[in-house]
Chain A
Amino acid sequence: MRLDTASPEREAFAKVFDVCVIGAGPAGISLARRLAANGLEVALMEGGDVDWTPESQEIYAGEITGLPYHDLDMARLRFFGGTSGHWNGFSREIDAGDFAPNPLNGAGDGWPIAKADLDPYAGEAATILDLGPPTPARLSGLAYPGFTETRFRRSAPTRFGEKYLEEITAEPRIALGLNASLVDLRLDPGLGRVSHAVFRSLAPDDPGFSVAARFFALCCGGIENPRLLLNFDSQMPGGIGNANDQVGRYWCDHPGVHLGEALFDGPPGLQDDSFFISTPEFRARAGVLGMNLRFHAREARSLSFFREAARSLECNLPFAKALATEVLGQKEVRCDLGGLGDWRRSLTPERYPWARVTTNSEPALNPESRVTLGAARDRLGLRRARLHWDLLPIDYRTLRETTLAMGRALAEAGLGRVRVYDWLLADDPVLPGLDASLGEIGAFHHMCATRMSADPRHGVVDGDCRVHGIANLYVGGSSVFATATCVNPTYSIVQLALRLGDHVTGLARA
């Protein structure tokens, strides 16, 4: 059942549901479907509409401090289907070893669950995400000390809005409420349970409406989950679930910048698009965290002779700096990219098998890397997100040492050579900004800001994704990840949502 809550159709929510799922992205949709399949009555509330609108998206605008990051109203999507619209389709399960405590990543407590807890949901998650079989090991005959070839399961990728709107509209156990922005969670007098959620449309004079349910699940994304909990402070100072000042802390993304480039002399296929992951043995030996390393074939593109000549001039002749800066239209010309060498190779790409070296690396948990509230308010009256992202020395060490080791492995195998960019070799490296043209600074993997821990002093939710101290409030999505790992998160997000669905179903039937 699909309802526009900006209209009188909102009256359909004037009853008590088994579960109110807030947010219709990969986590919320997967959870709602699971609950309905288990026979529960579900209110699935989405702040946006079925399509993107600027009015809804603007709610996501916020402040950025610390490392430069993508604008917050660009880094996620606020309409039915959520940020699956940004997904590139790469999927892997989190490795079993990633759940264990690891002093290097700051998670001395590890995850309160194990891979075996998610394994039962791997098959259905793969179906939901339309995952193909693992990519074949194309290079298995070659030895890479310290690395194994990363085998992803690829999706088209699935856009949840497109795939599931019709099914959910036809599902009698799900009431899909569109244009329903969550503006408060109200607690019972004992402050131990959520009694109802308050929603509004974006109309300025909307008085709003309430949805009552036995259980509530917040599935609004890795920045919005903590922002909303922090905003709901009228009954609990500091926000719901924040008694230990944990909500919003440890926020992280996978650094996605270019680390360098490679010149190949290996077998066909290596330079096409290859992925390698560091082994646990290498990580322990080198004292680094996990890292996926990608050789991303350069796109076939035409380069402007004049533009690249100007870049080369600027990078080599000081007196030409002003001219080159004017020609290229940039304040700071990036000398690690382009130039006449690139222009020459672009004429005969088959003779120069080059690739960019990019990454997904595991950032350590940093308590000062966090989502807080800014002073500005959105049109619903809620304070906007303020994101402070920073990396720790161990993160830069992981990027550098792993890249150097991969370069050595490639050279010793006689397959090519790797060049590491200057920024990563600096004594005190800092992740390049967006204006450096070194790829995406982050991967839009918003994780850990309502992290999972058995100890409420170290996390916001427990191993069942339940908010510590609130008996019937759960959180879905990668904000509950206890650590970031170096694995793309979507597969695990869906596995966790399915597991949460079964957990809540068990409680609802008890």
Chain B
Amino acid sequence: MTREVPMPKSLPGRRRFLKALGLALLAPLAGGLAGGARAAPAAAGIRATALPSGMFLVNGWILTAADLEALGIDAA
């Protein structure tokens, strides 16, 4: 289920955005933004939940298939 997703055009911009997104996703590990009473997942063990819309849900984040690929997250 791949979707054409516009991403930032400039490489530095794309890197910066993905870094910020990755930090937010991994925040439970780092004791960061997301925190959460949920168990902190191992980075490699993060699972994405497919939504009917074709998007994916990861720690509450609504992500595209391209996001998962860029972040190295497996779709469930």
A residues apposed to B, CB below 8 Å: 260, 263, 265, 309, 311-316, 335-342, 344-345, 351-352, 404-405, 407-408, 411-414, 417-422, 425
Measured CA separation A302–B2 after assembly (Å): 41
Contact B35 A316, beta carbon cutoff 8 Å: yes
Query: Which chain A residue has the least Cβ–Cβ distance from B4?
Result: A412
A-facing mask of B58-70, CB < 8 A → 1, else 0? 0111111001000
User: Given A405-B53, A417-B67, do A339 and B20 touch, yes or no (CB 8 Å)?
Assistant: no
Contact A421 B60, beta carbon cutoff 8 Å: yes
Contact B24 A341, beta carbon cutoff 8 Å: yes
Across the interface, which residues of B come within 8 angstroms of A425, CB to CB? 57, 60
- In the A-B complex, list the 7 residue pairs whose CB atoms are closest, starting with the nearest: A341-B32, A312-B31, A414-B6, A407-B62, A315-B35, A341-B33, A335-B35
Measured CA separation A61–B20 after assembly (Å): 46
Q: Which of A265, A339, A419 contacts B31 (CB 8 A)?
A: A339
B residues apposed to A, CB below 8 Å: 3, 5-8, 13, 16-17, 20-21, 23-24, 27-38, 40, 51, 53-55, 57, 59-64, 67
Taking chain A's interface residues, is the majority helix, strand, or loop, or is none over half, making it mixed? helix
User: Given A265-B17, A341-B23, A411-B5, do A417 and B36 touch, yes or no (CB 8 Å)?
Assistant: no
Nearest CB of chain B from residue A268's CB, rounded to whole Å: 13
Across the interface, which residues of B come within 8 angstroms of A417, CB to CB? 21, 61-63, 67
Q: Which of B34, B37, B40 contacts A341 (CB 8 A)?
A: B34
Nearest CB of chain A from residue B73's CB, rounded to whole Å: 13
Measured CA separation A312–B37 after assembly (Å): 10
15 contacts between A and B (CB under 8 A): A265-B17, A315-B28, A315-B35, A316-B31, A335-B35, A339-B35, A340-B32, A341-B23, A341-B33, A342-B32, A345-B33, A404-B62, A408-B62, A414-B8, A422-B60
Across the interface, which residues of A come within 8 angstroms of B7, CB to CB? 414
Measured CA separation A313–B27 after assembly (Å): 12
Across the interface, which residues of A come within 8 angstroms of B63, CB to CB? 411, 417
Measured CA separation A315–B62 after assembly (Å): 22
Query: Which chain A residue has the least Cβ–Cβ distance from B27?
Result: A341
Nearest CB of chain B from residue A251's CB, rounded to whole Å: 31
Across the interface, which residues of B come within 8 angstroms of A340, CB to CB? 30-32
Q: Which of B13, B40, B51 contacts A404 (CB 8 A)?
A: B51
User: Given A341-B27, A352-B20, A425-B60, do A411 and B35 touch, yes or no (CB 8 Å)?
Assistant: no
